[in-house]
Structure 1
């Protein structure tokens, strides 16, 4: 599913994230206060860019925040990232905001604020990409390396009418927590032998790095 995403910060992480999102069919706008930073995107990038401060309301408006599905603030400043996602969330009501966090001592504060974040210095772009790809519409929570998702199962895309829970779990490092039939006639905590059908509503725990490949099982 194509999303409108604003990436604030065009350093190594921001440019890598923007290209990953663009290559996967998303509409991407990159914001950075330094116009020279946009050279990090390379010639293959087919999104748009806006020069300016990421938490400035006018800048975000020019970047298309009115229709943004997600804002990812990945500058090298924790304060700038926090202010950006706060403005995006509370002023523009963007449904999914993600902040890069350098200081792990602030994790508890971010959790108390209910902010989605990525903390670390390596594979940051990949982790943010996974969070965006999982989609706020069916992304419920994050636990360490895992994402909790609720979605409608897509078997038609995989030319199947049904699949055993054990097959799905083994192939994708996933744990199916609960499911409900598409017609609402029954719900269950499954065993490995339980059979899932197209359109079933599924609650699952998925390793973050597996979300992009697992997305083919999720109805858009």
Structure 2
């Protein structure tokens, strides 16, 4: 069976700096020097990541990249802000209408199939043994498969990563027997990412 390959992984994270000096104050108006540019802002207005929330004759309340600061007349403030990092991976659909891609479970390479109908990550005992999982130390359970009811164990995987998007402490079920033949990437991982499907390509993305 052809395996759909991981096509794209994007990461963006940048450090932003803001230097702000309060040059003049009026009720709900402030003249600010923002990163070397002089701007007059009224309450509610923004420039280059700096928003004037309110002002009186002595203090300006500023929202700088999401953090609020009180700055007095002729005072300067410099802040550093790390913009959220966003990663995205795209998985093409195969001829069986499946989304299959590579992943890392506890640092080991595996193939997984995206399954939004599965509550948790699911794998069989052979796959679990290959990953070195002590699954019998998990919580005994049962699951219903196409072959009937099977014994299973429920445990937490230390880390699951797809396309550079890691999630720690992912709930998984290890099923006795050969089901599933491909590890199912269920909602215990997928709930932490944004899913988007378009023209036969499934995108997984996360910002943090």
Range into which the TM-score falls when normalised by the shorter chain: under 0.3
Per residue, is there more strand in 1 or in 2? 2
Per residue, is there more helix in 1 or in 2? 1
Greater Cα radius of gyration, structure 1 or 2: 2
- TM-score (structure 1 length as normaliser): 0.26
- TM-score (structure 2 length as normaliser): 0.27
Which of the pair has the greater relative contact order for Cα pairs under 8 Å at 6+ separation?
A: 2
